[in-house]
Structure 1
């Protein structure tokens, strides 16, 4: 929250560089180690309830080490992992009494779910450990309509990229870029289940999100993997037909399939799927033109 904006709304408020417990006042945490002090007598009941809710959410987040590590970029990961994937969910409509049941059900859909974070009033992030890769794309696509009907929800979902704990960029910076992409997309009224690739390609036409940090990361990853750049180019030229690609690259079809599978395990990108292939081809264009 921005202190200046809040002071415009509540001119009698006080800004402090430390939390203060004072009878008759409510304290709300801001960014940059600041807190705002609000006198209860100047607040409506509705404003009091909102501040209490925001304070409770902030306390819950601060107690979750995954939130500190992934969202705030602070501290260490709560546990060792090689690969991780985030599933972003925005609820454009929901019934409060169904929320807890929906969260429980979603976690059962993902056997590799480590935790779920609430990052906004209507926004949740499911953290999946992907050391042993498990595709969740078909799971969500097949169940989304039934889930919305059963729980009285309207959902916008993005399956994030698979990220390595040791990469070329800070993990929290990559995830912030993902969150910006997803937020821009759902704010335009979009719903349903989409992959990062789909939203990335959508963003190229819209020009609303700066994804250079992700683009640079994935491009470097391509360059570091044996023959992946050549495979991407050949698949693109041969309309993702494996037999033709294998012949062009003088590879046995099983060897080609193995390399494609390893790339999917590393990134979640399926090179036989045209949307993912288009993303990868777009990434290597500067190197082949």
Structure 2
């Protein structure tokens, strides 16, 4: 039975004004809030047990938790590029593992506990670090050393966004992760571009993400014909440059400039496919 049927008064994160009057609960990777006034003491105790301390002040007072989950823009700071890494786990992450992520990822801004089964890593990606490659390389060793199984989703690198954009991106990336877990639950690490293509296949609604990507396309000179031609040439850069009558170095420059705006690398066929589908849809 779904949460919506059990608690029809539940609302999504970002739609509440006074978080202290609500209790957070997670379903399929999405955080919802239930009004405390409508819950019995027994229901409150059961929810607190399920969330394993999600009501504790040390969690809900985390500024990143308040920013992403509760839409508290007063704690938002100005960053040029941010990435969220989503980690699912069956038990609380050992403190030593969290310390290891600090060592592995020098651009790690914060570790945010969302629930007993999900933790976020917030990265400052102004100076890009390929976090996916780093974590992929050490994941088997980490799981063996700590005796824990992890499923990791690498969110997009978001650039030039407004303060109120990131909570919306977080909610839609969480839906992407839940969608992936539902249809391809055996994946251990999942990239943003893999998620996007699966979302298209299942017609998942992603208005904030699509708006941001279309804005990046519109703001990037000549990127539409580049995307269309690269798709027709199956990603072949030499043929794309030849067909567009531009130097190959100019093509590389335009692709890199688009990556800095959107987070999408057109040299990656998944990113190219999503960009092509987005243009065809609009």
Return the TM-score normalized by structure 1.
0.77
Shift of 1:37: 7.8
- Give matches, 1:68-87, under 5 Å: 68-87=66-85
- The number of residues matched between the two structures is 260
Q: 1:125-164: CA deviations, max 9, x gaps?
A: 1111122222222212222222222222222111111223
User: CA distance change for structure 1 residues 118 and 187 in 2, over 3 Å: closer, same or farther?
Assistant: farther
Q: Which residue pairs with 2:86 in the alignment? A: 88
Give the one of 162, 182, 199 matched to 1:203: 199
Quick check: 1:201–1:279 contact (8 Å CA) kept in 2?
A: yes
Aligned to 2:186: 190
Which shifted more, 141-150 or 183-192?
183-192
User: Alpha carbon RMSD of aligned pairs, Å?
Assistant: 3.2
**1:62 match:** 60
Once the two structures are TM-superposed, the CA of residue 109 in structure 1 deviates from its matched residue by 2.1
Query: Unmatched 5+ residue regions in structure 2?
Result: 8-17, 25-32
Match of residue 278, structure 2, among 275, 280, 283? 283
Higher relative contact order (CA 8 A, sep 6+): 2
Q: Counterpart in 1 of 2:128?
A: 133
**1:80-229 to 2 correspondence within 5 Å?**
80-91=78-89, 93-94=90-91, 99-164=94-159, 166-167=161-162, 170-188=165-183, 189-207=185-203, 209-229=204-224
CA 1:129–1:168: 2 relative to 1, 3 Å = closer
Deviation per residue, 1:27-69 (Å, 9 max, x gap): 9846477457866xx79xx9598289435x4412332111111
* Structure of higher CA gyration radius: 1
